[in-house]
C-alpha cells in the first residue's frame, strides 16, 4: 500500500514485484524473453504483431491507407499480441523487438526477413517502401518528420506520465497529476496552434505525421483515451477537435482502428486480420 508520507529514496533501489497499478503484472526492470513462444506466420509479405493501443493503431491505419490507394503489396497479416498476458515477452516476439513493446513487424518480401520495431520507424519504413504519405520535396519531408518525431518524443509524457498517474496508478496524488496535466495541455496547445494554420499537422496533405499523432492526441481530445477530455478541457482545443474528427471519418482509419482490437463492441473487434474480408 502506498503512503501519503514523503518518500525518501534508498541508496539502492529494490524491485518490489506487483507494486500496484494496472500493468504491475507485466512491468519489470529487466529485458529478454520470459518463455519460449514462436510467432505465427501468414501468407502476406508483411507480418504485424500488435494490439490496438494508440501505438498499435498507427501502423494498422497506415497499412489500410496504403491498401485504399490500391497498393496490393501492402497486404498484411495482423496477429494479436496480448500484452496483459505477457505475449510480448515470448522468445519469438523479443527476437523481432528486443524492447518487448508493440507494434513489431516482419517484412518477409526480403531474405532474410527484415525486422521492424517502434511505431515511428515502421511508419517511416512503409512510407518510403511504398512512396506514400511522406512528402518527396526536402522541405515537406523535413516538416513531416519533425512532427513524426515530435509525437514519438512527446507520447511518453502523455501516456507513461499523464495516462499512468491519472488513469492507472493505484492511488491518486496531486503532484504527478498536476505535473503531467500541465505538460499534456502544453502539448495540446502546441498541436492546436499548428492546426490553426493548416488542414493537417505537417501541411495541406495527409501524412504519416497525422497517422502517428491522431491515435494519441485525437483520442484524448475526443475522450477515447483516458476518459480525460473534461478534465483537460479538450473542447477548448478547437483546431485539434476539427482535425481529430476529420481524420476519424476516413474509411481506412475506421478500418485500421479495429485491427488487433479485442475489447469494446463486437463489431469493432477484429483481433486478427488476414484479408480485407476480415474487416468487411
Place of cell 517484412: 107
Q: Are 66 and 10 in contact (CB under 8 A)?
A: no
pLDDT in the model for residue 45? 97
Cell (9 digits) for 206: 495527409
Q: CA of 277: how far to CAs of 270, 272, 273, in Å?
A: 11, 11, 9
- Residue 1 has a pLDDT of 44
Closest by CA to 173, choosing from 183, 165, 182, 162, is: 165
Who's near 104: CB < 8 A, 6+ residues apart? 48, 49, 50, 81, 93, 96, 97, 115, 116, 117
pLDDT of residue 20: 67
Per-state percent for the chain, helix, strand, coil, to nearest 5: 50, 10, 45
d(CA 100, CA 26) in angstroms, rounded, equals 11
Helix (H, G, I), strand (E, B) or coil at 225: coil
Strands, DSSP E only, in 187-270? none
Per-residue pLDDT tens listing for the chain (280 residues): 455 678 899 999 999 887 667 777 788 899 999 999 999 999 999 999 999 999 999 999 999 999 999 999 999 999 999 999 999 999 999 999 999 999 999 999 999 999 999 999 999 999 999 999 999 999 999 999 999 999 999 989 999 999 999 999 999 999 999 999 999 999 999 999 999 999 999 999 999 999 999 999 999 999 999 999 999 999 999 999 999 999 999 999 999 999 999 999 999 999 999 999 999 8
Amino acid at each position: 500500500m502506498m503512503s501519503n508520507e514523503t518518500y525518501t529514496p534508498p541508496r539502492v533501489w529494490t524491485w518490489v514485484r506487483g507494486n500496484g497499478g494496472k500493468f504491475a503484472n507485466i512491468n519489470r526492470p529487466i529485458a529478454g524473453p520470459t518463455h519460449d513462444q514462436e510467432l505465427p506466420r501468414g501468407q502476406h509479405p508483411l507480418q504485424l504483431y500488435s494490439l490496438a493501443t494508440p501505438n498499435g493503431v498507427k501502423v494498422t491505419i497506415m497499412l489500410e491507407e496504403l491498401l485504399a490507394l490500391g497498393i496490393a503489396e501492402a497486404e498484411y497479416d495482423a496477429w494479436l499480441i496480448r500484452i496483459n498476458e505477457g505475449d510480448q515477452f515470448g522468445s519469438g516476439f523479443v527476437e523481432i523487438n528486443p524492447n518487448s513493446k508493440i507494434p513489431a513487424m516482419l517484412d518477409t518480401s526480403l531474405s532474410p526477413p527484415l525486422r521492424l520495431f517502434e511505431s515511428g520507424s515502421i511508419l517511416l519504413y512503409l512510407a518510403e517502401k511504398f512512396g506514400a504519405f511522406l512528402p518527396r520535396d526536402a522541405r515537406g519531408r523535413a516538416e513531416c518528420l519533425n512532427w513524426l518525431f515530435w509525437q514519438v518524443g512527446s507520447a511518453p509524457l502523455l501516456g507513461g506520465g499523464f495516462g499512468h498517474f491519472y488513469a492507472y496508478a493505484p492511488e491518486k496524488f496531486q503532484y504527478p497529476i498536476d505535473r503531467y496535466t500541465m505538460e499534456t495541455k502544453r502539448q495540446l496547445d502546441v498541436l492546436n496552434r499548428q492546426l490553426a494554420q493548416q488542414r493537417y499537422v505537417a501541411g495541406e496533405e495527409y501524412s504519416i505525421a497525422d497517422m502517428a499523432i491522431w491515435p494519441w492526441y485525437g483520442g484524448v481530445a475526443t475522450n477515447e483515451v483516458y476518459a480525460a477530455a473534461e478534465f483537460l478541457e479538450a473542447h477548448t482545443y478547437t483546431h485539434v477537435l476539427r482535425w481529430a474528427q476529420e481524420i476519424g471519418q476516413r474509411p481506412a482509419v475506421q478500418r485500421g482502428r479495429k485491427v488487433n482490437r479485442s475489447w469494446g463492441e463486437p463489431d469493432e473487434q477484429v483481433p486478427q486480420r488476414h484479408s480485407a474480408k476480415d474487416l468487411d
